[in-house]
Copies of this chain bind each other. A is one copy, B any other.
Amino acid sequence: MSDRFAFSLDATDGPARTGRIETPRGTIRTPAFMPVGTAGTVKGMLPGSVAETGADVLLGNTYHLMLRPGAERIARLGGLHKFMNWPGPILTDSGGFQVMSLGALRKLDPDGVTFRSHIDGSRHRLTPERSMEIQRLLGSDIVMAFDECPALPADRARIASSMRLSMEWAARSREAFGDRPGHALFGIQQGGLEEDLRAESAEALRAIGFDGYAVGGLAVGEGQAAMFGCLDYAPEQLPADKPRYLMGVGKPDDIVGAVARGIDMMDCVLPTRSGRTGQAWTRRGQVNIRNARHADDPRPLDEHCTCPCCRGYSRAYLHHVSRAKEMIAGMLLTWHNLHYYQEIMAGMRAAIPAGRFAAWEAEFHRLRAEGDIAPL
């Protein structure tokens, strides 16, 4: 633990990197997967259980928290860590992405964005300055610059103008954030799938100077091949001595492919959201536990998994409680999914310093290709 924010690289293996981010609230081992605690809770989990899966850091959503219960309220109550009972580091997004995906009647102007809440229709405005203020009120350890991001596909002119607006907002975010020892501000690279626009964006961010850099604007519908194509060049456009964060990614193979291309941090709702709809992720791929073939299966999801779900419950039980819409179905599957995601991260963190990342990756893909265990 440290009284300031610092990143150190421990080892690399090709583009893949492992290291640690020190914060006053604890160390984040990279590559790191951040479970999403949208509205002040990782859905279906108690915070202590999230920590047990091996997560070092959570993501909180500025958009959700500003609307309900409100950033000023959380500040009065002592900040988001205390509010949600998570003592470790928290990264908050800027709200920009979710305003555009969830907010109603949104109107973008060069200064910011005005929108109505999807909860109660109330009117709100986000600007780089207000986003910095909200993230400060929440007490976020890692603050994201306020940006704007078009859905893909979009034409090059739209991507370029959006990226340049985001770079202006990045500078305003940096200015508004000020100097806050122990807290970090990350800039967000945009530019869609255009390598030269990505380079221009990276250059603009470097010139402003951030504590870390996100690759933004991916995982918005372009597909894995296009995303990996972008990740073949985008991370190395960013400073090597700062953490690189790929926002909103992804499935297990997306994550492994991103780390293989030099990414240090990721977040995604997938392991939590799928757990609530009967979807499990294992070393051998995806399992839909509601499928009838599991109804009499006494085996766990994954006999090699050490999570409480796999240690205590059969597929038959998970099938039953998921079909019966019992809360425990979402609780156990979410726990398993987050545990498996953290196991992937731990595996990569061990493989990289040993110089065996490629072998680890090959074994990861070999097991997935085998597919789920056959019915009894």
Residues of A with Cβ closer than 8 Å to B? 39-41, 43-48, 68-69, 73, 76-78, 83-85, 276, 295-296, 298, 308, 312-314, 316-317, 319-321, 323-324, 326-328, 330-332
List chain B residues, Cβ under 8 A from A73: 295-296, 316
In the complex, chain B residues whose CB is within 8 Å of the CB of A68:
320, 323-324
**Distance of A332 Cα from B85 Cα, bound (Å):** 12
**Cα-based distance from A313 to B83 in the complex (angstroms):** 7
The verdict on A316 contacting B85 (CB below 8 Å), with A41-B328, A46-B308, A326-B39 known, is no
Min CB distance A280 to B, Å, is: 17
Rounded to whole angstroms, the CA-CA distance of A42 and B327 in the bound complex is 9
Q: Is the CB of B46 within 8 A of A316?
A: no
Known contacts A73-B296, A298-B77; A327 and B331 CB within 8 A of each other: yes
A228 CB to closest chain B CB (Å) equals 34
Known pairs A40-B320, A46-B308, A68-B320. 18 more at Cβ < 8 A? A39-B320, A39-B321, A39-B326, A40-B321, A41-B321, A41-B327, A44-B327, A46-B328, A46-B331, A69-B295, A73-B296, A77-B314, A77-B317, A83-B314, A85-B312, A85-B313, A276-B327, A331-B331
Counted per complex, copies of this chain come to 2
Could you list 14 A-B pairs, sorted by A, with CB under 8 Å?
A39-B324, A39-B326, A40-B320, A40-B326, A43-B326, A43-B327, A45-B328, A46-B308, A46-B331, A47-B312, A69-B319, A69-B320, A77-B316, A83-B320
CA distance A144 to B40 in the complex (A): 44
A45 to B46, CA, bound (A): 11
Can you name the residue of chain B whose Cβ is closest to the Cβ of A78? B298
Chain B residues near A314 (CB-CB < 8 A)? 77, 83
Note all chain B residues with C-beta closer than 8 A to A84: 317
Q: Which residue of B lies closest to A334 (CB)?
A: B327
The residue of chain B having its C-beta at the shortest distance from the C-beta of A332 within the complex is B46
Least CB distance from A307 to B in Å reads: 12
B44 and A316 contact, CB distance less than 8 A: no
Chain B residues lying within 8 Å of A312, measured Cβ to Cβ, are: 47, 85
* Residue in A40, A46, A73, A330 whose Cβ sees the most chain B Cβ within 10 Å: A46
**Given the known A-B contacts A40-B320, A316-B69, A316-B83, are A76 and B296 also in contact in the complex, defined by CB atoms under 8 Å?**
yes
User: Which chain B residues lie closer than 8 Å to A316 at the CB level?
Assistant: 69, 73, 77, 83
A200 to chain B, nearest CB (A): 40
- A341 to B295, alpha carbons, bound, how many Å? 35
Find chain B residues with CB under 8 A from A85 CB.
Answer: 312-313, 317
The complex places the Cα of A298 from the Cα of B77 at a distance, in Å, of 6
How many Å from the CB of A102 to the closest CB on chain B?
14
CB distance from A292 to the nearest CB of B (A): 12
